[in-house]
Chain A
């Protein structure tokens, strides 16, 4: 046995164990291409209506990272961190304030890669401070005290006129700072700027590929998210991660074996806060403006919770799929219809007299769609969420794992092994 195992090069084994990851990353990498091909194909109109556009996918990436960091603490140690938005907000505000030269000792021209790390560290310090107090509690009380802390910060930031002239509306990047660059630090040619308007465009890559600013941002942010995912994955598969799961399963027993569970929980919370901060920083770097309501508000953590439950609570990558699902539904039912959606599709492809048909009491088909479907994605996501909690408590990925009898990565590794 042992001889057989060593006869394989470690690299081949490593690649085999990561086939699932490579497939997913390849899918995300090819997505802009697939999207472009499908939207110009004969089924183009349907594709526009159904598939999320690249900007939405970018949002899926950074918010997915936030949802993963939420799941890292809540799904693996069992401590529901309902105030997780605090760390997302801390990272986001850090980037905007630093770019405006309002953070002491951080010049406004600091490279974005460094800002990402600093934003993560700011959130980490905050997480240690909040966690040191909160981990004396458990269960419902823990969820509530973290919620309390995040709401204190939310109200504080909405009233703190240091961040901008009208803090309730948030802050934005002022001054001449161009797009935030992501890439290899200190090598200019290996950096690209992100942002819908400020980002770099790439033309003639490898002779044939041209990328718009949105696509460049998508790849750059996606790359950071992959690195962060692998880092969290590494932590979870280490002995440290095993202790986290032990705390979830039976904290008293973990303590009885001799683990100082308080320290483990605090460290896990710090790591989780760090990545939530990075997610917030990516959000701020891409959008270049932040508001208290889409960073510090407790429903932001609620969105992460939604993504985690649908994707799979206690599976690290599940929340990313949960968020992908979530955003796709929202875009499909959005009122703006920027990325294409149900209503623009129907307007174009269904005869006007069908849309104007009266259903009941003077309500037309179009009126009914506008009243009950468009802009009301929360209703259907909420219903779905309730159904998931009741009938699919493990979420999409968790259920898949149950069927496959292990993680998807180990299952694919076994399949590849068998077919060699």
Chain B
């Protein structure tokens, strides 16, 4: 398809043979152990971020059937909030320590969870009786409000809303800016930190869902919330708690992203994270946490592989960004309910 497009766009047809040769070369290069290892680690780091971004979304959808369009905006707010706390704690710039980062994560989680609980009680609760489209509409309206508010506040403090917040990026500890030797390849410390952080988050959520009594209620509620209600458990409060939890996780993911130069804290981060989060959640199957983790891994690894290919062998500027949407479209064509999803969920 790409060759056809290039030919259509007027590239000389004679260059077909060298291109094939280049692809042969690239194949050889790609399958060298160091390249493979680097692509793999990059992919894992991306996967960790994707899972972090999508985890809150999938928890909320799984229990309440609400596709939260404001998830990206909440992640963005988390990034700014986390960045602001870090910048204030360090006193105006310079690297910080990992301990301060964990303090920040806890504070951001708490603040956003409280905000999420407020949103659920005041805005989303009145809509449970309406068709699911209305929840999409409401949260979509919420993104408009939150993004614009963020833009007002950010520019009020003299920052450029559309470019990354450099001061927040600068608080990254020196430990994470170095690269670490892992056998034959050297990997950036940040990538390893992201992988570790993502891994711990996934374990924590998994443990919450399977090992605690509240998690049991959440899982039961995902199966059949009316039945849980009938058993005398206040499902409405469970809804609020899970929504708060999901929003809190979004905020934590945002805080992590504020350190990553490829994302960074900016207002457009809202849609930059929303769309991949949707892709991961839908590829995994709406509302299954296991599916989200697997899909995050797949999307992360495919993304890093394709990014390598498009940087080294195929020249089409937009294609790396296109990859994850192609994964979405292909998954929905082949397996409309997602990898682990049930056919009935998410339909009318």
Contacts and interface: CB of A to CB of B under 8 A. Distances in A.
Asked whether A and B interact, the reply is: yes
Interface of A: 78, 80, 133-134, 136-141, 143-145, 147-149, 151-152, 155-156, 158-162, 167, 251, 298-299, 302, 305-306, 309, 371-372, 376, 378-379, 381-383, 385-386, 389-390, 393
A143 B346 CA distance: 10
B45 to A, nearest CB: 22
A155 B324 CA distance: 11
Nearest to B146: A382
Given A144-B278, A379-B149, A305 B328 contact: no
B213 interface: no
Contacts of B322: 152, 155-156, 159
B219 interface: no
A144 to B, nearest CB: 5
15 contacts: A78-B131, A137-B347, A139-B348, A140-B347, A145-B328, A145-B332, A159-B318, A160-B9, A162-B9, A371-B152, A371-B156, A378-B144, A382-B145, A383-B141, A389-B141
Interface residues of B, number: 52
Say whether chain A's binding surface is mostly helix, strand, loop, or mixed. helix
Contacts of B318: 155-156, 158-160, 167
Nearest to A80: B133
Nearest to A152: B325
A302 B140 contact: yes
B282 A141 contact: yes
A153 B316 CA distance: 14
Question: Which of A147, A381, A390, A393 has most B Cβ within 10 Å?
Answer: A390
Contact of A155 (B282, B325, B328, B329): B325
A382 B141 contact: yes
Given A159-B316, A160-B318, A148 B348 contact: no
B145 A383 contact: yes
B317 A136 contact: no
Nearest to B66: A140
Contact of B137 (A136, A145, A309): A309
Interface of B: 5, 8-10, 67, 123, 126-127, 130-134, 136-138, 140-145, 147-149, 151-152, 155-156, 271, 275, 278-279, 282, 286, 316-319, 321-322, 325-326, 328-329, 332-333, 336-337, 346-348
Contacts of A302: 140, 144
A139 B347 contact: yes
A147 B145 CA distance: 21
Contacts of A390: 123, 126-127, 138
Contact of A379 (B138, B148, B279): B148
A298 B270 CA distance: 13
Contacts of A159: 316-319, 322
Contacts of B347: 137-141
Given A133-B329, A144-B328, A386-B142, 4 more contacts: A139-B346, A148-B279, A371-B152, A386-B138
B152 A372 contact: yes
A140 B346 contact: yes
Contact of B346 (A78, A134, A141, A389): A141
B140 A393 contact: no
Nearest to A143: B136
Nearest to B138: A389
A309 B133 CA distance: 12
A118 to B, nearest CB: 18
A152 B136 CA distance: 21
Nearest to B338: A141
B67 A140 contact: yes
Contacts of B67: 140
B152 A145 contact: no
A372 to B, nearest CB: 6
A148 B325 contact: yes
A419 B325 CA distance: 59
Contacts of A145: 328-329, 332
Contacts of A306: 141, 144
Contacts of A141: 282, 286, 332, 336-337, 346-347
Contact of B325 (A134, A143, A151, A305): A151
B275 to A, nearest CB: 6
Contacts of A134: 332
- 5 closest residue pairs by CB, A with B: A159-B318, A382-B144, A379-B148, A385-B141, A382-B145
